[in-house]
Amino acid sequence: MKDFYQGDIIRISGFRNKFLIVSRNAFIKAANVFHVCPILEMYPEGPLHIAVEGREQTYGTVVCEQIKLIDPAVRGCNRIDRISYEALMNISDAVQGMFEYD
């Protein structure tokens, strides 16, 4: 398996959209799977829809509530870009906030 890391922007075979890896690196290493959220172009921003820009000029809005588990050994995945640590912190806070208790 290729090495994938939290904050990587990837393409998954069979899907038109790009995806952002949101799982922690320790989880990825232990489980050999990871969670992704889609990155959509021309999508309005909101509390769970966070605009990102990759280091290689990948643009879009991460739709945090559409989290999926991917096994890269089964799906063809290729890294195409990476987001900044600050953007990753905002997205991680949004994802984690969906699962906090009231």
- First-to-last CA distance in the chain? 39
Residue 100: its pLDDT value, please? Answer: 83
Residue 36: its pLDDT value, please? Answer: 98
> Which CATH code, of 3.40.50.1110, 2.30.30.110, 1.20.1280.50, 1.20.59.10, is assigned to 8-77?
2.30.30.110
Distances (CA, A) of 21 to 52, 59, 68, 85, 101: 13, 15, 10, 13, 24
Ordered by start, the domain boundaries in the chain are 8-77
Residue 78's Cα: distance from chain center in Å?
13
pTM: 0.94
pLDDT in tens, 73-99: 999 999 999 999 999 999 999 999 999
